[in-house]
Structures are given as structure tokens and as C-alpha cells.
Amino acid sequence: MEHYDVIVIGAGAMGMSAGYHAAASGRSALMIDAFDPPHAQGTHHGETRIIRHAYGEGREYTPMALRAQALWAELERETGRELFLKTGFLQAGEPNSRMLGEMIVSARENGLPAELLDGAQMRKRWPGLTLPESFAGCYEADSGVLLSEACVQAYRDAAVARGAAMLADTPVVAVRPDAGGADVVTAQGTFRAKSLVVTAGKFAGPMLAKLGLKRMPLAPIRKTVEWFRPATADYAPDRFPAFLFDLPEGIYFGFPDIGGEGVKAGRHDGGFRPMPEDGVLPAHGAFADDGADCAAYVRRYMPGVVPDIIRGSACTYTMTPDEHFILDRHPDYPHVAIGAGFSGHGFKFASAIGEILAALAAGEEPGFDLSLFALRRFNQLTTREG
């Protein structure tokens, strides 16, 4: 049986980062994934993800976002790859929008250079937008876009270069933790580690059940994003930011026309379906209404974009009831670190979350207040079995 200091179960964005950080700290690491990352069966594909700092989902996220930005820059330097595009980020909504208000408070509390704008100022600066006159906005010039699949590949290559092992296309069959470590059983053999990092994405619920955590409130759902052809140059990445709009119709996000691929848009708060029980992600177009909400959004709010879908992609969100992450140690096995339930807004943090999980698994303190992400908030829903 092969032995490691740490085994990472699930090597998507979070797990690949955790494997890298474990290896970078001098620990022997094995990363195991049911697919061959980067791949199109999880949450990291679709080319791009937003990274922003003053955070509308809760100001507790901001220190982690700033650390993540620094770590992405370190990964760029280490691998010589472009992973971040500084397009800026605009969040907008009615002045009483909770998300917008949280972003503004977060910016002030952390001294971030965010710019407050009214509706007229936004329309003048970005003529590709037609937002309600009553809207207010908060703009971060230092935020922007991560090239998501390139990020995962960069962490994979950097982890392997630092000595980590990668076992792809290998589902985990069983996990047997004990006081001194854990055995991880796969079709390729059984592996032993002193500690575990569990970042199993849409399979997190069943995987945590193997570790005795039953009825975890994790709901994998299917989401879609679409690309649309811009009819003007107003949406070029040097003219148009990544964005998140709290609209009467829902919460929409998107990206400028990067590399001539089109303007990308998605809806965060609706238009989802539960994942099939077999975990296989239905491709974009599997349902007749795929992209209908984003096409309607583009038609109404982005007048220089042709509202015909030129291509689309499906991905998974794994939701918690409060849409906050799970970042914690197993209540019975403190050498098992758990990262799950990233609820559609986790990718930007992957560089920092991997560092946090690697520290948790090693018995170290990660340097962040993780109380918002603790398992104990679900105590009434979770049954533990030793």
C-alpha cells in the first residue's frame, strides 16, 4: 500500500490548489479525481470566472478574496501563464440592494479603491448597458476575470512539478478514516494517508456520507451560461467590465468579449435543475429553455449585443441552504479537512481555499476566521456515525 502525508479526494479547482499547497509545504500528496481535470463535468469549465474583492455575499469573504488574488498572481509567476485579466468589475442594483450594500460596506471597511456610480454615470461610461435609471453601482478597477480551466491546469502542473502525484479517471470507492489517518480505496488500489482533504464537488454529499456525515444539506444543481455576439466594440475587455447585476428579473453576471468568443452571461439565482442521480451533467441544449433567461436579459439590458445564443455551456453548483461554503475539519477526525458547498461563487477563492484546506488537514491554523463556514451550523441536519 502506498503511503502519503495527504490525499486529496476531488481534484477540481479547490482540490488541485490544496494538492499544490500541500506539496509546496514539503508534504507528499496524492490527488485523486473521478475525471481528468480540467474537464467539463464539474464547476470549473466554461473558460472564465469573475474575481472580485469587496464582496456582496458577505464582507467576511473579502480577506480571503484578497489572499486569493495574491496567490493567483504567484501562480502566474511560477508557471509563466496568464491566468488573470484586469477588466474591472461592476456590481449594480437598486440602492437598497442587499448585495450592493454589502459590497460598499466591505470596500469601506477594507480600504478598497471602489468607485460609487449612479445610473447616469454608468450609462455614460459603458454605453453597452441600459440599466434602470434608479440603479446605483460599485466599480472595482483592480478586479476582473480568471481563466478558469487554465488556472486548474496551472495548479495541476505546478503541483506535479513540486512532487505531488495525480490519479485521474479514478472514482473513490470507499474511505476508512481512523485516529491515525485514513485508507482511500479505488479501483487502482488502496492508498494510505496521514490526513485527507475532501473537495468532491457535486459528489460531496455521498463522499461525506462515506466519512460518517449523513444528510449533509448539499444540493447539486445544473446551471447554464451562454455566449452572444457583440454588434459593437463597446464590449471589448479594455472597455467593458465583468459584471453582476441585481435586477428585478434576477441576479445576472457576465463577462466582456474576451478573445472574440462573445459576451458571456449567466443567471445566478434561478434557471436551475437538480443534477441527475447518476451525476452525469446534461449538456447545454438538453432542455428547450436552456439560455432563454439570459437571452431575455441581453435583449433588455445590453443593446449592442445580438440576443441569439452562439454557444452555451452547462456546469454544476453544489448549494448549501445559506449559500455559504463549508470549510472545516471533520468533527470526529480532525485530520480530515472538508471543502464543499461552494454554491456557485467559489472559484475565485480556489487559490486561497486550497491553502486553507491544506493547513487544516495538517493541523495548522489557516489564518482566517472560518466561523461562517463551519459544519456546526448544520448540526440539526447532520447525523454522525463513527
Catalytic residue chosen out of the listed positions 21, 43, 44, 48: 48
Q: What share of the chain is helix, strand, coil (3-state, %, to 5)?
A: 30, 30, 40
Tell me if residue 315 is catalytic: yes
Phi/psi zone of residue 148: left (φ > 0), alpha (ψ -120 to 50 degrees), beta?
A: alpha
Tell me if residue 49 is catalytic: yes
Distance CA 90, CA 234 (A): 15
The residue among 95, 111, 102, 108 whose CA lies nearest residue 60 is 102
Output the CA angle 155-224-304, nearest 5 degrees.
100
Which residues are bridge partners to 29 per DSSP? Answer: 6
The pLDDT of residue 279 is 84
The pLDDT of residue 385 is 46
User: Are both 2-44+149-213+322-384 and 89-141+220-318 of the same fold?
Assistant: no
Catalytic residue chosen out of the listed positions 59, 345, 348, 377: 348
The pLDDT of residue 380 is 55
Backbone angles phi, psi at 311, to 5 degrees: -165, 165
Q: Which DSSP symbol is given to 256?
A: -
Cβ–Cβ contacts within 10 Å for residue 256, how many?
Answer: 26
Question: Scanning the structure block, which residue is given the C-alpha cell 445590453?
Answer: 302
Catalytic residue chosen out of the listed positions 138, 315, 316, 329: 315
Catalytic residue chosen out of the listed positions 52, 264, 330, 345: 264
Distances (CA, A) of 82 to 86, 283, 291: 11, 28, 29
Tell me if residue 43 is catalytic: no
Q: Is 334 helix (H, G, I), strand (E, B) or coil?
A: coil
In sequence order, which residues have a C-beta less than 8 Å from that of residue 174 and are 6 or more positions away? 183, 184, 185, 210
Contact between 363 and 334 (Cβ < 8 Å): yes
The pLDDT of residue 5 is 98
**Digit-coded pLDDT (tens) for 265-295:** 999 997 789 999 888 999 999 999 999 999 9
Delimit the domains of the chain by residue range: 2-44+149-213+322-384, 89-141+220-318
Distances (CA, A) of 264 to 31, 259, 309: 31, 12, 10
Catalytic residue chosen out of the listed positions 21, 44, 45, 194: 45
Fold of 89-141+220-318: D-Amino Acid Oxidase; Chain A, domain 2 (3.30.9)
**Digit-coded pLDDT (tens) for 3-12:** 999 999 999 9
Element at 13 (helix H, strand E): helix 13-24
Tell me if residue 210 is catalytic: no
**Digit-coded pLDDT (tens) for 155-214:** 999 999 999 999 999 999 999 999 999 999 999 999 999 999 999 999 999 999 999 998
The pLDDT of residue 386 is 39
Fold of 2-44+149-213+322-384: FAD/NAD(P)-binding domain (3.50.50)
The pLDDT of residue 271 is 73
Catalytic residue chosen out of the listed positions 202, 267, 268, 330: 268
The pLDDT of residue 162 is 98
Q: Within the chain, which residues score under 70 in pLDDT?
A: 380-386
Tell me if residue 44 is catalytic: no
